[in-house]
Chain A
């Protein structure tokens, strides 16, 4: 009896221990994730993360403040508060989150979308090309914000420590990527990202025009530093097929639905009773007031007591009875985030004609183009077509002004008021140090030294973990394209 029990116990022990536990342990497949998603799902993520970066508190707000497009209102209690990016106090999160979005949430997912599209059978060429164009745009932001950045060795799991490419090479890499996409687009194919294409809903013709315009913008950013790019600009203009109507605007609309509102709007809605934290910058408001610009009431909200739209010197205290704030109509819940607009195309073309970049100088062509650009801008911001046309027609003729190119630049900068990062690029490329348009001075409260020129490399996400990274570059040091 006793022996039998011991025997049974022994058998029980063995039977528990010995059966192949392989099957029992084979449970390590995640129920929470997918191994082969459709590339459109990565594309939609990259698109949304990217526009949220651009319109949110890591890009729009600090860029617009440091770039003096808007004013923080100093010690005004319902202003943004100081010290802010206006006084050159940058949160390292601005650096980290921007880098993070460029490389991770947007960059990686676009790279993965390209890989999946190109390795599919049959290849989804349009999806790959759409992803490449968006990636080119992401990298353009990346390099104009940070300068020299990893590009040729980035997004490669086999390279742990990517080298930093010189900005010129990054720009040329973007052009090459756009060319690659242009060659890959296949308008005849039904294989493409359409319902998940938040920009053009799969209209490949628009994508191709955009790709060419983005190329133009890259070359225009380079050309002052590297005049040899003028020829390529001339060729692009000659060949045509660029963005040619407001319908081509490269943008994503937000939704007037909770959780999907434009972050600029959501911030003031949830924290400031719907009123903007930000005041008009005198650099924008003064210029527009001088023109009696019909966009003034579209851009700004005027205090009842004020007789006109006034901005403040960035960093100064905002006066609630006198100074205008950014309008909640401009930064509405469903306001779109714009990456490229028709008026921007026209401003570039006006500048090309006025300066004769790769084309013969033609001030009259430039005049037509700049007026058209301002007219498109007015319409874009909600001014009626008739008012826009008459306002544009009434603008001074370029042949009558002392510095026509500077005037084009100023208009282009004002048009970009709601696009902090893009306006900052425009300002930096508008002239050499000390001759930019507009001519900015150090904001009130900012430390002594040069004006804001870039974001610093994120220390924790990159510098401290990449042996190939350069040393820290201060926020007021110019980058390659910035003369």
Chain B
């Protein structure tokens, strides 16, 4: 019988072609008779498909006796044989949304209701409506417990994703940068943000110097069908250690059987700086009220008071002073992004294919900053013989970016510093038009003493660029000889070469003789998963599914880098043109072999239990200690099945899970070995390169290795519930989780008097506990109009436990004495120089100067937020939809160097106040005679001295509450009615027009001058909460047109 049916289907298309088409019209409704908007109506076995309109009305061309397939999101598909009728009414039954399948670890698909842990899935429409070039950013505010921080406003810059808090205290890129594993169609891919040390910069070039992005940014959102965020260890147990910080499971688009279609998407987007500093516009440059051309600051005379005089400007002209309030603003331009994508997809019996191409060109808000990304993907599947299927998926991405601005410090190309320090009386157009002397070819600087670079010299000459060529893909063979058995093998590779180059032209202040570096970074991952699945019905109600698998994983990294100094021929960046070249190379390789199993039992649709186990053998651990096993159990209980009499309860489920995972160490962390030293440090970056006086050098390791490391261990559990009420008008998902990572493989700081900075040990634990709530409400739902509110809330509390004798643990050292560190029982916090306070908390003032006294190494504030919330409102009216997303962060602190610069330089708005007055700072003075603190009576000599206290080395003076409320996203979409299309534009299957904006408005923030959402440490580090000359983040808006034919 079945064979005949298949045969019939197979022959159907050719029969249809012979038949005469006619117009079928009708209405799609739900069982209550309410229209189902935008249902898809397909003529079965053909590529003919239309959308019903918002009223459920449709019109389609179909031959007699054909079958129409009606489908819509949240409804069960239904088929209607039209016979000879021309009007058809179809009734779609509500599909329990929660019976949607979710792609979990190792590509195993499971029904949502069977999951014993929480997982958030985002569909491709979500990702494409408000487009982001870095796919990570599109997750912001959309999933509970997932926190996204972009590093900066750099085009193609990196973004960091933290799921349920930071679990690790080991700040190495290989093992513990806190980033989830990215898996595309079962293949784990690389998401590193490699940092490289260069001779000319004390700051790593990667994310904290020039931001070269993180490699997940190479993923093309147009090729993505869905993203599932697996948050806890139970969800990711089968990936083991690599996914201890969560997993981002990406499924790519595939061709659909019987529907050949072409989709074009065109987007144009515009970016501008979301927030620029607020400047004073009353005072010129100088010192203590006296004009000085040599000082690029705002401590000169009041402009209005010296209108009767003229002063020399940086071009040597005598001018009357005038403020240019927009001079910094005008430095930035509007960045533009164009994204063109086309995809062809389709399939026949036993075959499907999809080919996609996307080209993105982007320019940044900083002149000269640009990015070009091309992505080609091909995904095809074929049924070779009964039970044997093959599928392959290949992606090639090329990214070229140029003009990446340098951030942070200790590099002459740090741009923000140059822009912010432009005196208020300087016309930016003059700076732009006069950065190079037409006669001498020399740089024209803003001061006669040539103390700083002209920003236009830097952006026009000193370019930091990178090119990535990346291929990732896999081949999957699936064999299912009998119904209960499936064997599949998924082999894949991800490799790329990234070429980086940074040039500094001779004549640049701070590098007057010029320099450049190039680096080739090569990374390759090979992964093979062999999985055998057995599913059997044990009794009528009891199903058993057993999975057994084997995994081989290898990751290899290699880098060759050359740093050249002292260039002879101007602007020739050839190594032969350099006085000295220092070349270094590095490589590492790690391997992992694992076996795993998963046993799942389900009883009716009521109860689901899953147990997994995996054993890994790692190359990075000592031979005797390199095997580790980790189990997990999870279960789900759909209690609503037992309460079908409660009409208000549409669905209810309880879930619980427990998991224990282990993880390995970085490669080569075990043996005591001496490393070659390319450079000997001296402060301000002018140490000696080796060979020095003809000798080279080696050094003992800074980290005392440990030959007896054991795997670190994470135990986590979570409880949760999913409920829907009032015919799913209200949905609620609540999760409580707790995860403890013990025996952390950490480089524990030891006193340097031991001769080492740290030693590698198994010690300490990080405990993360939190709750996540997702609430969906549909307050209004009428025939034409609906209003959906989707909110998510997450709260995470981190506690770090340290071995008894360890007073504190430093995660990251920032600039100017700032550190991210923790004491036992506390979360990570910003530490640094603070105001000295008396026992009552008053600031202690120096009796000599009237200025505040300071004290080193004090705890200032936690870096992580207390809670995060995202609220999305969607309004649908007929074919229009409007949605906006509000993103809220509460708690945590941020250090801002921009604010320090603006204050110490007298350029920030706040520094204009009280300049003509003598001020006495609020505080106390220690009176030695009475041994008491008395109220301060000593005036500060000037506001210049007062604000001078907020120098970068003063941590507390520049730390702010990092809470914010932001309007993250606004989208307006319009879909052309299918009736219109089918009557006027028959060849078009769908046409959608969207307007979108991202990061539109900082509704509330406590940090002056900058967007509080920045992170100088970048995605390669666990540290955050520090801004250091970061490029301003951007506001973007754009238009998107999507045509499907």
Give me the interface of A with B, judged by CB distance under 8 Å: 2, 5-6, 9, 12-13, 16-17, 21-22, 24-35, 37, 40-42, 44-45, 48-49, 52-53, 55-58, 61, 75, 77-78, 83, 89, 91-94, 97, 99-101, 103-105, 107-109, 111-112, 149-150, 153-157, 159-162, 195-196, 198, 252-255, 257-261, 263, 266-267, 269-273, 445, 447-449, 456, 458-467, 469, 472
Contacts and interface: CB of A to CB of B under 8 A. Distances in A.
Interface stretch (B368-376, B639-647, B667-675, B1026-1034): B667-675
A196 B668 CA distance: 29
Contact of B683 (A16, A57, A255): A57
A155 B294 CA distance: 48
Interface in B972-1004: none
B671 A154 contact: no
Contact of B754 (A21, A24, A159, A467): A159
Contact of B700 (A48, A97, A108, A260): A108
16 contacts: A25-B618, A32-B676, A41-B697, A44-B692, A45-B699, A58-B682, A91-B953, A103-B753, A104-B702, A252-B693, A260-B580, A260-B692, A273-B512, A460-B819, A462-B753, A466-B753
Interface centre among B479, B585, B750, B806 (most CB of A within 10 A): B750
A58 B749 CA distance: 22
B756 A157 contact: yes
B811 to A, nearest CB: 12
A206 B500 CA distance: 48
Interface of B: 199, 287-288, 292, 294-295, 412, 447, 449-451, 479, 481-482, 485, 487, 509-513, 530, 532, 548, 550, 552, 565-566, 579-580, 582, 585-591, 593, 595, 617-620, 623, 626, 667-668, 670-677, 679-684, 686-690, 692-702, 704, 749-757, 759, 805-808, 810, 813, 816-817, 819, 821, 833, 846-849, 851, 853, 856-857, 948, 951, 953
A83 B950 CA distance: 12
Given A33-B668, A35-B672, A464 B532 contact: no
A241 to B, nearest CB: 28
Given A28-B668, A33-B674, A45-B680, A104 B752 contact: yes
A28 B619 contact: yes
A30 B512 contact: no
Contacts of A78: 294, 449, 451
A465 B677 contact: no
B684 A29 contact: no
Contact of A260 (B481, B689, B701): B689
Contacts of A255: 692-693
Nearest to A275: B449
Given A48-B688, A48-B695, A49-B680, 11 more contacts: A27-B589, A31-B588, A32-B586, A35-B674, A56-B682, A57-B682, A92-B833, A154-B755, A155-B754, A254-B688, A465-B750
Contact of A109 (B686, B699, B849): B699
A150 B751 contact: yes
A5 B478 CA distance: 13
Contacts of A25: 591, 593, 617-619, 626
Contacts of B759: 160
A7 to B, nearest CB: 10
A35 B679 CA distance: 20
Nearest to A259: B689
Given A33-B675, A467-B807, A267 B684 contact: yes
A103 B667 CA distance: 26
Nearest to A54: B682
B591 A112 contact: no
Contacts of B412: 270
Contacts of A94: 683
Across chains A and B, which 4 residue pairs bring their CB atoms closest together, nearest first? A57-B683, A77-B294, A56-B682, A448-B848
Contacts of A22: 623
Contacts of B704: 157
Nearest to A266: B686
Interface centre among A58, A195, A255 (most CB of B within 10 A): A255
Interface centre among A29, A42, A91, A160 (most CB of B within 10 A): A160
A93 B817 contact: yes
A52 B680 contact: yes
Contact of B755 (A48, A111, A469): A111
A318 B687 CA distance: 28
A112 B700 contact: yes
Contact of A28 (B295, B511, B670, B695): B670
A416 B926 CA distance: 38
A53 B688 CA distance: 11
B292 A77 contact: yes
B846 A58 contact: no
A52 B690 CA distance: 13
Contacts of B700: 42, 108-109, 112
A458 B753 CA distance: 11
Contacts of A461: 751-752, 757
B668 A105 contact: no
Nearest to B285: A77
B530 A13 contact: yes
B530 A16 contact: yes
Given A270-B513, A465-B751, A447 B807 contact: no
Contacts of B687: 52, 56, 263
B752 A161 contact: no
Given A263-B682, A465-B750, A91 B667 contact: no
B728 to A, nearest CB: 43
Nearest to A258: B566
Contacts of B530: 12-13, 16
